[in-house]
Amino acid sequence: MPYDILTLRRFLLQEYRTHGVEKDLVFLLEDIATACREISFATRNGAFSGQLGATDSTNVQGETQKQLDVFANDQFISHIRNCSRVVALVSEELDEVIWLKRTATAGDYIVYFDPLDGSSNLDVNLSVGSIFSIAHLPGRVQVGDDKALLRAGTDQVCAGYSIYGPATSLVITLGNGVHEFANHLGTGEFRVVSANMHVPEDSNEFAINCSRYADWDTPVRTYVEECIAGTEGPRGKRFNMRWTGSMVVDIHRILTRGGVFLYPDDRDNRDKGGKLRLMYEANPMGFLIEQAGGLASTGRGRILEIPPTSVHQRASVILGSKNEVERIEAHYRDFDAAGGIEAEKKAAEAEAS
Ligand code: AHM
Ligand code: MG
């Protein structure tokens, strides 16, 4: 029986004392943790409460909403609005931004969240999660001016996710490392189980939806082909592949034992800018991965430095072990130096004629 129990509350108070984390941010994180506990309970009881299955509505992404997507979104909003310094909320499930205050002041919090990521996994009883990101409003702005919410990933003051798996965990960064808190059944407390998580620099595990192979750009194909060539290929070792369909789960695995996660833009999704959303998927996960010693790239640059142009915009996402991400970036550089997509198109046209 361990005697040293570090609860989320005690951890946050330590952060307040040692790193000057604001008290309101401590309260806000406790409210988010409560929302996550509610969502965890609801996902476990979905079959009994009649909450499994779809609604007849679609979200801004054009995806059918599950009942639990809607429930999770409501939980985030109800709990977060307890914090009087939160000025605005951006949710994957809502077309419009929710402005909570009458006057928007510098230093107010903006919270971006995906209330239930990977929700297509719910009906088959696979793990899902919630993702969130918090930034400061930089100055006094007019309430309703959504442009003021377009903060780059480098402006995040906190990011995290909750994973609803065999155990429910909360993983957060406040810019001083990444820490995992497991939810203790009985007391309901979140307690530290992994302090200062670290993504190993090297790995032999990759995560990508291989059914999109035909749409990938050459750099991604080259990387995956090198991996699956095994001991006979240029990497000289066997690789393992994992893809859960829940970004939270794939990123949690990478934070735990390393690896690389790819959802790049490709021929099929390029018009939309990729698949995953910048403000509440790519940025928070990028912040966490960087804080744990990994890299977060689009293939051509740092995710956290993407200048946002819309609250629901998408991004190309490559996250994980440093040496693997750098290798993929090198493939992109070689590809671009040879003329990139345009050069490939021309070569294909010339061959066909
Ligand atoms: P969601 O936010 O609508 O749940 O979509 C995001 C999910 C990620 O969790 C996951 O990595 C990806 O979409 C799965 O995509 P695919 O269906 O192409 O495998
Ligand atoms: Mg989602």
Which residue owns the Cα nearest ligand 1 atom 16?
Answer: 245
Q: Which atom of ligand 1 is nearest to the CA of 212?
A: 18
Ligand 1, atom 15, residue with closest C-alpha: 245
- Ligand 1 pocket, Cβ-based, cut-off 6 angstroms: 63, 92, 114, 117-119, 209, 245-247, 263
Q: Which domains does the chain have, with CATH numbers?
A: 8-194 (3.30.540.10), 205-352 (3.40.190.80)
Mutational pocket test of ligand 1: of 57, 92, 132, 276, the residue with most ligand atoms within 8 Å of the beta carbon: 276
- Is the C-alpha dihedral spanning 33, 14, 295, 167 positive or negative? negative
User: Exposure string (b/e) for 86-114, b if CB count within 10 Å is 16 or more?
Assistant: bbbbbbbbbeebebbeeebeeebbbbbbb
pTM (global) more than 0.85? yes
Taking residue 351's Cβ as centre, other Cβ atoms within 10 Å add up to: 7
Report the separation in Å between the CA atom of 204 and the middle of ligand 2, taken as the mean of its atom positions.
27
Rg (CA), the chain: 21
Q: pLDDT 10s digit of each residue in the chain, 353 long? A: 556 899 999 999 999 999 999 999 999 999 999 999 999 999 998 777 777 777 777 877 777 788 899 999 999 999 999 999 999 999 999 999 999 999 999 999 999 999 999 988 988 899 999 999 999 999 888 999 999 999 999 999 999 999 999 999 999 999 999 999 999 999 999 999 999 999 999 999 999 999 999 999 999 999 999 999 999 999 999 999 999 999 999 999 999 999 999 999 999 999 999 999 999 999 999 999 999 999 999 999 999 999 999 999 999 999 999 999 999 999 999 999 999 998 888 888 888 88
Question: CA quadruple 185, 187, 188, 194: dihedral positive or negative?
Answer: negative
Q: How far is the CA of 212 from the centre of ligand 1 (A)?
A: 13
What's the pLDDT at 2?
58
Smallest Cα–Cα separation from 335: which of 299, 306, 311? 299
Atom 12 of ligand 1, nearest CA residue? 245
- 219 CB-near residues (< 8 Å, 6+ apart): 299, 328, 331, 332, 334, 335
Beta bridge mates, 276: 315
